[in-house]
């Protein structure tokens, strides 16, 4: 359904067009909706929709055309986020319906408010069901990192793909579940492994750097010193001095 359909069906008049001209179509905070869908609870959906209405303005929501824009904006944002967490399009439409099937029901602001609240609640429930159906995303990611930390090409997007979610959602949920960013966690895993090798082997530092995923020895040494407080060579000397 598009603007022409509204006009042909008599759902749109000149007043709607004038209202549209004076309203900022970017006023729906899509990033706020995304953040809510990543981390919010069903009970918060009402307040999120109320904030959307407040930012849009009650006067604008009296326009059938603008209600169409708002619903479409939120619907597509929700669809994108659900895809990001691993839900395919058919699962999404089956759970919440298609936007076209509801558009004609939005006769007033009240019906839109109810629909958007229900849409967001359903999406949160879908997200929670998805999370409960499998292992913790962070837990899966940690296992993958433990097995692949030595690979220089390992990255946030690579690990996200391994747990079947998009990079944006993975970054958000990993930080939420672990309290650490992906890069920081991976770096500490590599440094801890390097410390173990420095203390137990006679390998050259450059070789150890390569074994824990760093092709650039100088970069490895810089990262190591930043975290440990001393260079790899100093750490090796100190750890050997403490051996019985």
Q: Which of 94, 111, 133 is the last residue of a domain?
A: 133
- Both 103 and 196 in one domain: the answer is no
- Both 113 and 213 in one domain: the answer is no
Give the pair of three-digit tokens for residue 169: 């959602």
Cβ atoms < 10 Å from Cβ of 187: 20
pLDDT below 70 — which residues of the chain? 1-27, 99-105, 133-135, 241-244
Q: Which of 118, 133, 148 is the last residue of a domain?
A: 133
Give the pair of three-digit tokens for residue 181: 């960013």
pTM of the model: 0.74
- Both 35 and 60 in one domain: the answer is yes
- Both 173 and 86 in one domain: the answer is no
- Rounded to whole angstroms, the maximal C-alpha distance in the chain is 89
pLDDT reported for residue 23: 53
Length of the chain: 244
Residue 144 CB partners (closer than 8 Å, separation 6+): 159, 162, 163
**In this predicted model, what pLDDT tens digit does every residue of 90-129 receive, in sequence order?**
888 888 887 666 666 677 889 899 999 999 999 999 988 8
- Both 145 and 116 in one domain: the answer is no
Taking a C-beta distance cutoff of 8 angstroms, is the pair 74, 115 a contact?
Answer: no
Q: What is the 3-state secondary structure (H, E, C) of 71-131?
A: HHHHHHHHHHHHHHCCCCHHHHHHHHCCCHHHHCCCCCHHHHHHHHHHHHHHHHHHHHHHH
pLDDT reported for residue 153: 96
Q: What CATH number is attached to the domain comprising 185?
A: 1.10.10.60
Provide DSSP, 179-210.
SS-HHHHHHHHHHHHHHHHHHH----HHHHHH
pLDDT reported for residue 154: 97
pLDDT reported for residue 90: 87
Exposure b/e, 202-233, CB count within 10 A at least 16 = b: eeebbebbbbbbbeebeebbebbeebbeeebe
- Both 182 and 79 in one domain: the answer is no
Question: What's the number of domains the chain is made of?
Answer: 2
Of 44, 115, 107, which is closest to residue 75 (Cα–Cα)? 115
pLDDT reported for residue 86: 86
Taking a C-beta distance cutoff of 8 angstroms, is the pair 109, 53 a contact?
Answer: yes
- Both 145 and 122 in one domain: the answer is no
Domain that holds residue 220: 137-241
pLDDT reported for residue 4: 44
């Amino acid at each position: 359904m598009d603007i022409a359909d509204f006009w042909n069906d008599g759902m749109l008049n000149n007043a709607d067009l004038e209202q549209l001209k004076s309203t900022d179509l970017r006023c729906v905070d899509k990033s706020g909706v995304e953040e809510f869908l990543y981390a919010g609870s069903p009970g918060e959906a009402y307040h999120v929709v109320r904030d959307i209405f407040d930012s849009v303005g009650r006067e604008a929501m009296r326009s059938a055309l603008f209600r169409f824009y708002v619903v479409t904006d939120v619907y597509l944002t929700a669809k994108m986020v659900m895809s990001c967490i691993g839900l395919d399009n058919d699962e999404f439409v089956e759970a919440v319906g298609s936007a076209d099937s509801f558009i004609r029901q939005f006769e007033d602001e009240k019906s839109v408010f109810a629909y958007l609240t229900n849409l967001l609640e359903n999406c949160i429930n879908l997200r929670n069901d998805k999370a409960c159906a499998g292992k913790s995303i962070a837990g899966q990611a940690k296992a993958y990192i433990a097995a692949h930390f030595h690979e220089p090409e390992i990255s946030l997007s690579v690990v996200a793909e391994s747990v079947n979610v998009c990079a944006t959602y993975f970054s958000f949920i990993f930080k939420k579940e672990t309290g650490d960013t992906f890069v920081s966690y991976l770096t500490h895993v590599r440094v801890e492994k390097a410390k173990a090798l420095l203390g137990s082997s006679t390998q050259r530092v450059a070789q150890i750097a390569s074994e824990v995923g760093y092709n650039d020895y100088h970069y490895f040494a810089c990262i190591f010193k930043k975290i440990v407080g001393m260079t790899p060579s100093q750490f090796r000397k100190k750890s050997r001095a403490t051996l019985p």
